[in-house]
Each structure stands twice: as C-alpha cells, then as structure tokens.
Structure 1
C-alpha cells in the first residue's frame, strides 16, 4: 500500500470539513476522488500534502506515518501535488518553474533527463521555455503545473482539478497525458469535478459528499452506477 488514510478528520476553526475519511492508493494505480463543489476534495488533498493539519486519524505513505510531517519533507519522500489553480510562479520563466519542481534533488543528470521527459510530454512547454509562466494560457499553465510536479520525480502524484477552466480539447489532452505517465509507472491520485473524465480514467474511485466518503469502487463500475450517474454525470 503506497498511501493509506484512516479515519481522517479536519477542522476549519469550529467547522468540521472532513469526517473520518478512509482511502487507499496502491502502487501503479490511478485513483480518483470525485464530488460536488464544497464536498471536501481540495481539503483532502491539502491534508495529504500537509498544507492543512488534520484533527484526528492518520496518513501513512510508504508504510510511514506522515500525519505530522512538514509539507517539504513529504515532497522529499515522493509526495508531490499540482495544486488547484495551477499555482505557477508568474514572473519566472517556464524553465525556471520546472527547475523549481526539482528543488529537493541533487542528481543533476537525473534532473536533466526528467526535464527532457517533461518537454516530450508537453512540447508546448519546450516552445515556451523562456516565456514567463504568468503569460501562458490556462491550458499551458496546467501543463506547467503537472510538469513541475513531475520534476520532483514523485512516487505519488497528486492532481487537484487538472481540467478546471480548460476547453474540451485541452481536457482530453491533459487526461491522455495522465494516462500516459501512469502507464510509464507513475501512481496518481486525482481530484476532479469532471466525474465522467475521472471515472473513465481511474482504476478505482471514491465519491465524497460533505466531507464524507459515501461510495467507492472500480472507476468503470461507478461510471455506470445509477446514483453516481444521476448526481454527477447529469443522467436522470
């Protein structure tokens, strides 16, 4: 088991945002977390990354309890996130943004190889490598956010709403690349409001409602689950 979350709860002040969430991610999987706005998807990702402290429960990564570990130390252990809203450094070039993704690494040859790999996955970034990140289109910034996360060479890649604000053609491209990097051996946990895309891609998935896991299963099976179809896929 690569990631194991057990009975995780989280508070925003006096408001309980997560209620005893439990989920797992195995090596080599794509696992999706779907739900409506405000369900707690991004909060869950922030808890896993260490950005928000949990109130109770545990987060284990690679067999180690990381529940109280600082975010930067989680990155060093191979847990890296492409955040909601992309979060690129607007005044830095594309190349500098990607290099920031490798800030924990000292293997210069490996970093160079991974930079080449990112440019192969995202040829547009190679074309824009000298351009400030803040001047890229929304789709290009999403590519940059994913590429920057890959530069840390993570054991688990966390993707928070990778399709947000993108045109349908770019959404297809982003999800095709997620599938490709998974086929190359990358484990992925993706939070996504576009339930159809997420369930079509994921090996397994969890459905989150008001801070609680209410359903889980194989992605393709949840795609045809009547309750899921009605609630998240617009099928009555």
Structure 2
C-alpha cells in the first residue's frame, strides 16, 4: 500500500477538524475525497503533506511511518501537493515556477526530461513559458500548479480542488489531464467539491462529513449511491 492513514486526528489549536480518519491509497490509483465546504478535505491534505501535525494516529507512506516527518522531507520521499488556490509565484515566469517544483532534485537530465513531459502535457504552458505566472488565466494557473508539483517527480500527487473557480470546459480539460497523469504511472489523491468529475475519474472514493469518513467505495458505486447523488450531485 502506498499511503495508509490510521485513526488520524488533526486540530487547529483546540478545535479538532478531523476525527479518527482512516483511508488508504494503493499504487496506481486515483482516489477521490469528496465533501462539502468545511468537511475537512483540505485539512486531510495538510496532514498528509506535513503542513499540519497529527494530534493522534499514524501516516505510513511506502511502508514507512512518516507521522513525525517534516513537510520538505515528505516531498523528497515522493509526496507533492498542488494546493487549493494554486499558490503559484505570480512574479516568476512559467519556467521559473516549474523549476521551483524541482528544487529538491539534483538530476539535471531527469529534470530536463520532466520539464519536456510537463510542457507536452500542458501545451498552453509551453506557449506561455516566458510569461509571469500572475498574468495567466485561472485555468492556466491551475495547469502550472499541477505541472510544478509533477516536477518533483512524485510517487503520490495530492490535488486540492483543481477545478475551483474554473469554467466547465476548462474543468473537463483539467480532469482529462489528471487521468492522463495517472495513466502515465502517478498515483493521485484528489480532493474535490465537483463530485461528478472526481468520482467519474476515480478508482475509489471516500465521503467526508464534519471531519469523519461516512462512506467509501468505488468511484462508480459512490456516483450511483442515492445519498451521495442527493447531497453532492444535485440529484434527488
């Protein structure tokens, strides 16, 4: 198992935002984590990437307990996140942003090969490679955030709300690329409010409500679950 989370509780000060959550992600999977605003999706991502320390519970990655490992060392181990809100460097060019994604690496040939891969995946970024990140459209900035994360050559890619604020046509394009990245061999944990797109692309999924997992199943099972359809897909 690539990622195993066992009874993870996360808190902001005295306020618990995640309560004894357990989930797993196998190598090669796309796993979706869906839920309403405030359900604890981004908090879960912050716990996995090491930006928020565990109050209780365990996180194992590639068989190693990483619960107490610093965030930067988790990147080196192969966990990288494209954060909610994109978090690109607006004053740096597209290429400079992508370079930042490879800051933990020293293999120049590998970095060059991955840059070619990212620019092939995202032709729009290739066209705009010398532009400042802050001048890109929302969809292009999302592509840049994903591309930058790929430059660390992750074993596990964490995608936090990649469709947020994007037009429907751009959302489909982003999810097509997510599927392609997975088919090229990258395991993905995907946090999304767009349950329709997330579950239709995911091998498995979890439903998070007020910091607790209330359902899990295959993407297709959750997509056709009456309670999920009513709560997240707008279908009664």
Normalised to the residue count of structure 1, the TM-score between the two structures is: 0.99
For residue 55 of structure 1, give the secondary structure of its aligned residue in structure 2. Answer: strand
Distance 1:5 1:217 in 2: 16
Question: In structure 1, what is the Cα distance between the partners aligned to 2:138 and 2:172?
Answer: 14
1:139, 1:110 → 2: CA distance?
27
- In the alignment, what sits opposite 1:7? 7
- Residue 12 of structure 1 deviates from its aligned partner by 1.1
Matched, 1:44 2:35: no
Corresponding residue for residue 90 of structure 1:
90
- Count of matched residue positions in the alignment of Structure 1 and Structure 2: 236
C-alpha separation between the residues in 2 aligned to 1:47 and 1:111? 27
1:23-46 alpha-carbon deviations (Å, 9 max, x no partner): 000000000000000000000000
- Once the two structures are superposed, residues 184-235 of structure 1 have per-residue CA deviations (whole angstroms, 9 ceiling, x without a partner) of 1110000000000000000000000000000000001110000100111001
Structural mapping, 1:75-114, within 5 Å: 75-114=75-114
Q: Where does the alignment leave 5 or more consecutive residues of structure 1 unmatched?
A: none
Displaced runs of 4+ in structure 1, greater than 2 A? Answer: none
Q: How does 1:26-37 map to 2 (within 5 A)?
A: 26-37=26-37
**2:168 corresponding residue in structure 1:** 168
Identify the residue that residue 231 of structure 1 maps to in structure 2: 231
Query: Aligned equivalents of 1:51 and 1:16: distance in 2?
Result: 15
- Matched with 2:127 is 127
Q: Distance in 1 between matches of 2:16 and 2:158?
A: 23
Q: Distance in 2 between matches of 1:52 and 1:210?
A: 18
User: What displacement does 1:13 show?
Assistant: 1.4
TM-score norm. by structure 2 comes to 0.99
For residues 9-62 of structure 1, the C-alpha deviation after alignment (integer angstroms, 9 at most, x for no partner) is 011111110000000000000000000000000000000000011100000000
